[in-house]
Chain A
């Protein structure tokens, strides 16, 4: 259920932790099929915003509408149903470390689909082929490198065919080559699964490769929005500081 091609609509979102006001007044829209990059320094509230979208953190005020429904007003069962349509890729990959790669991928599928075991096996192999890690199917997370863990995290997320993908710092801690690999993977997922995405990052290599639009977050509010090339030319010192790092 989309509303005028807008899949996520955030209005006046505020969130504080104790005396720290993390999100002051967030207003953001994500269009159908769009990839929006949110740029911001560490601790600027980017991840908190993503967690508000998926209902892991309850906002103090404001509304977060996902596919036409206000997340805060949903019951737990309704929220779980909505979450099937949202994929969340964690910064660390958040793989279940007591399970093999295969079990990690089967976990959401067994609980959220009516596929039989052969169909589950086929789907697991399909998404592992998508991320280029079919050989790692029987490995444990502890045997994987940082980049591999992130790619398996992506595979576990896309396995449910979500309509929206939320990427929390997908390239943090990776070398430039792996950063490019992961960024191109995001683009490939976008093309194959036609998802709408929000990518939270402070990595400009990733932002350049994946973004349709960039929104810059500073001190809990968005200060600038535009395409990569538009923002590259801006005079704003804070925004420029990201481009100078490239």
Chain B
């Protein structure tokens, strides 16, 4: 293959092929017993609980800023009453999933890449392998599954907090009741907004988990490679979040 492509393109193709094979192995092993339930629950805690604070603050600020920015724009047209609708559609369909996805790619993706990269460098993954335990099942399957299931929950939670942030911003300037604010939101949002936006978050979560595990498992020897694994995990999974989002928008537009 090296003869036909420039070196940099060849490297990218090798990475894509490696990532594809890693994903195929995940689907082959995820349903096959034995199941690492204890480690899976530990990863749910690691990924969910430990990202809770960051996602809360980010979500709140997104909603708060979005509402504050919308007021001066809509006020001259007398359309400030549309702000709850605007915030809810913007957050649920696009801003909430993408921003939270990127935050998770940074926090969770780098964490997985660095942890597994460090285990690879210190031969802990090899030690699992030679003691007849399956490190892929114990380390990768649990982390990818936890990321694929927890990140959508974190995103739904971030969306809710963002709307509360928006409500607070509106109340600083005017006086809107919580009931009115949320009744406007629920009047505006449809299943066509919520379902595609939620489905794409599973892809975000899966991608963040699989890229982090792949880079960690394939870290080369030396401490420098731990940093590289963490860094490239964030770069690739962030890029993939954007790419998945673009694909999801296209598919949503075709279907709905």
A residues lining the B interface (CB < 8 Å): 51, 54, 56, 80-81, 83-84, 86, 88, 90-92, 94-97, 107-108, 111-112, 156-157, 160
* Cα distance A111–B123 in the bound complex, in angstroms: 19
Query: Which one of A54, A92, A96, A111 lies within 8 Å of B130 (CB-CB)?
Result: A54
Which residue of chain A is the closest to B127 with respect to CB atoms? Answer: A94
Residues 104 to 133 of chain B near chain A (Cβ within 8 Å): 119, 122-124, 126-133
Cβ-based interface call for B252 (8 A): no
Are B132 and A160 in contact (CB-based, < 8 A)?
yes
A-B CB contact pairs (8 Å), 28 listed = A54-B130, A80-B132, A81-B132, A83-B129, A83-B130, A83-B131, A84-B132, A90-B126, A90-B127, A92-B122, A92-B123, A94-B122, A94-B124, A94-B127, A95-B124, A95-B127, A96-B119, A96-B127, A96-B128, A107-B128, A107-B131, A107-B133, A108-B133, A112-B131, A112-B132, A112-B133, A156-B127, A157-B131
Residues of A within 8 A of B130 (CB): 54, 56, 83, 86, 88
Verify if B34 is at the interface (C-beta below 8 Å from A).
yes
Cβ-Cβ contact count across A and B, 8 Å cutoff: 53
CB distance from A120 to the nearest CB of B (A): 14
CB B46 to nearest CB in A, in angstroms, measures 10
- Tell me the minimal C-beta distance from A162 to chain B in angstroms: 9
Residues on B lying within 8 angstroms of A by beta carbon are 34, 119, 122-124, 126-134
Distance in angstroms from B113 CB to nearest chain A CB is 16
User: A111's contact among B126, B127, B132, by CB below 8 Å, is which?
Assistant: B132
Q: How far is the CB of A8 from chain B (nearest CB, A)?
A: 15
- Residues of chain B within 8 A (CB-CB) of A92 are 122-123
B34, B124, B131, B133 — most chain A CB neighbours (10 Å): B131
Extra pairs beyond A80-B134, A88-B127, A90-B127 (11, CB < 8 Å)? A80-B132, A83-B129, A83-B130, A92-B122, A95-B124, A107-B128, A108-B131, A111-B34, A112-B132, A112-B133, A160-B131
| Docked complex Cα distance between A156 and B132 (Å) | 12
Partner of A96 from B124, B129, B132, B134 at Cβ < 8 Å: B124
Residues of B near A108 (CB, < 8 A) are: 131-133
Q: B123 contacts which of A86, A94, A107 (Cβ < 8 Å)?
A: A94
Q: Are A156 and B122 in contact (CB under 8 A)?
A: no
Q: How far is the CA of A121 from the CA of B149 in the complex (A)?
A: 34
Which B-chain residue is minimally distant from A84 (CB atoms)? Answer: B132
User: Complex Cα distance A81/B119, Å?
Assistant: 23
Give 9 nearest A-B pairs by CB, closest first.
A94-B127, A108-B131, A94-B123, A88-B130, A83-B132, A84-B132, A80-B132, A111-B133, A90-B123
Chain B residues with CB below 8 A from A56, complex form: 126, 129-130
In the bound complex, residues from chain B placing their C-beta under 8 Å from that of A95 are 124, 127
